[in-house]
């Protein structure tokens, strides 16, 4: 199967999952499946926009009380000639016509006395006297966002700002596209998971990159299981009812996809009655990769054992289907190539590159067994079979948090 056909088929295989209502923080990076509406107006009541005095009528004003944000509101109606000392965000008393910031007020003598009052300020005025501008520094109820206003449409991406907005509108949860749940199965008797590998052993380089890749695409790694070589453990891990094998789940099997004596994935999938959707892709690196659907509805992605081959295969099959479910597919990006690449007559090549003003620069170090090139790159250039010198498509790579 061609690389482009495999990628498109993977995206189509994701299927539609039911929208999920999740706590705000879990919604980050996901798409809304329903419009976001204001459950409360913003501000919720008329409030002061400045620290100072809420006033009615003309000055000087007799200070008849004080109100803080979160404190009890002023119980009375403010009458002409009265002021209430007020904090930003505190409810403006009924009858208040404006708020005068402290810096725009002066202590005033009681009317008729001719001298400023001693002790605590009980009278205030504007420096030039007169009335305050009606409505000044009072934020009216619903002035920023009216109650029931639709502030974002279905399909909007939940960003950090959206979380803050949703909270201010009274939401505790959001209805979003579901995350696919990805279970990682790392196979290989030679694979070790910590420390220096002894001769003949190799450190697992695939398990460590999958969670970040899956999260970035909009999915979630639910767990990692380490399996010895052999069909039995793999069969048990993919059997009907095993964790991570139901509809909406993806099991990623690392390192059992080729044709060697320890490469059991194909046989296990056949034994389980799985539908093989992709069996090998015309791409370098990463041609021994697989996509299958288990009878219970879960998907299985088989990645080759060579780490860069696994990385390229994950971007071919796993990322597109996770993105499709999450609704996070990016736009298509193309670029000139600013450096030579090897072109294959029949296979697509995925070449690690760094974007630059001159085009995408191949970074080298791209052997299937090493992630060095992928670690230096910010994209993979897609070089089609027989390509000759035009623009290439770029697949974006995650750059970390």
Point out which residues bind ligand LQZAQKY5 (CB under 6 A): 186, 188, 190-191, 202, 204-206, 254-260, 263, 287-288, 304-307, 309, 368
- For the chain, give the number of residues: 401
Distance of closest approach, residue 355 Cβ to ligand LQZAQKY5, in angstroms: 27
Residue 230, sorted as left (phi over 0), alpha (psi -120 to 50) or beta, turns out to be left
| Residue 78 binds: one of ligand LQZAQKY5, ligand MOO, none (C-beta under 5 to 8 A by kind) | none
DSSP string for 114-175: -SPPSSS--EEE-TT-SBPPTTTTEEPTTSSB-TT-EEE-TT-B--HHHHHHHHHTT-SEEE
Distance of closest approach, residue 373 Cβ to ligand MOO, in angstroms: 13
Q: Does 227 bind ligand MOO (CB under 6 A)?
A: no
Identify which of residues 304 and 362 has a Cβ nearer to ligand LQZAQKY5 in the complex. 304
DSSP string for 33-70: SS-EE-SS-BSSS-EESSSEEEE-SBSSEEEEEEE-TT
Alpha-carbon separation of residue 96 from 55, 250, 308, 356 (angstroms): 5, 61, 68, 59
Interface with ligand MOO in residues 262-321 (CB under 6 A) = 284-288, 304, 306, 309
Report how far residue 311's alpha carbon sits from residue 376's, in angstroms, rounded to the nearest whole number. Answer: 14
Distance of closest approach, residue 210 Cβ to ligand LQZAQKY5, in angstroms: 10
| Residue 202 binds: one of ligand MOO, ligand LQZAQKY5, none (C-beta under 5 to 8 A by kind) | ligand LQZAQKY5
Distance of closest approach, residue 367 Cβ to ligand MOO, in angstroms: 8
| Residue 395 binds: one of ligand LQZAQKY5, ligand MOO, none (C-beta under 5 to 8 A by kind) | none
Mask of contacts with ligand MOO, 365-394, x by CB under 6 A? ---x--------------------------
User: Applying CB under 6 A, which residues contact ligand MOO?
Assistant: 284-288, 304, 306, 309, 368
């Amino acid at each position: 199967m061609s690389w482009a056909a495999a990628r498109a088929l993977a995206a189509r295989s994701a299927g539609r999952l039911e929208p999920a209502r999740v706590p705000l923080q879990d919604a980050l990076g996901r798409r809304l499946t329903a419009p976001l509406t204001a459950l409360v107006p913003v501000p919720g009541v008329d409030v002061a926009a400045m620290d100072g005095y809420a006033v009615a009528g003309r000055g000087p004003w007799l200070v008849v009380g004080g109100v803080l944000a979160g404190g009890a509101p002023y119980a009375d109606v403010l009458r002409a000639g009265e002021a209430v000392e007020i904090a930003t965000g505190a409810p403006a008393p009924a009858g208040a016509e404006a708020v005068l910031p402290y810096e725009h007020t002066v202590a005033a003598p009681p009317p008729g006395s001719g001298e400023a009052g001693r002790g605590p300020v009980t009278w205030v005025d504007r420096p030039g006297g007169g009335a305050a501008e009606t409505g000044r520094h009072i934020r009216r109820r619903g002035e920023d966002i009216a109650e029931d206003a639709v502030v974002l449409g279905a399909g909007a991406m939940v960003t950090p700002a959206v979380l803050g907005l949703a909270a201010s509108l009274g939401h505790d949860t959001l209805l979003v596209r579901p995350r696919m749940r990805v279970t990682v199965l790392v196979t290989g008797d030679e694979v070790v998971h910590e420390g220096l590998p002894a001769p003949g052993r190799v450190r697992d380089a695939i398990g460590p990159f999958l969670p970040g890749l899956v999260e970035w695409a909009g999915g979630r790694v639910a767990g990692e299981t380490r399996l010895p070589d052999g069909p039995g453990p793999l069969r048990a891990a993919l059997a009907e009812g095993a964790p991570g094998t139901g509809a909406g789940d993806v099991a990623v099997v690392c390192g059992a996809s080729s044709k060697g004596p320890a490469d059991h994935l194909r046989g296990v999938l056949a034994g389980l009655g799985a539908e093989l959707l992709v069996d090998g892709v015309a791409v370098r690196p990463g041609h021994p990769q697989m996509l299958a659907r288990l009878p219970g509805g879960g998907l299985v992605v088989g990645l080759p054992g060579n780490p860069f081959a696994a990385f390229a295969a994950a971007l071919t099959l796993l990322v597109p289907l996770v993105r499709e479910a999450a609704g996070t597919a990016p736009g298509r990006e193309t670029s000139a190539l600013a450096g030579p690449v090897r072109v294959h007559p029949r296979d697509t090549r995925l070449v690690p590159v760094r974007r630059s003003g001159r085009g995408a620069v191949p970074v080298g170090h791209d052997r299937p067994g090493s992630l060095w090139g992928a670690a230096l790159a910010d994209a993979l250039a897609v070089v089609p079979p027989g390509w000759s010198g035009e623009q290439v498509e770029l697949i974006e790579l995650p750059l970390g948090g």
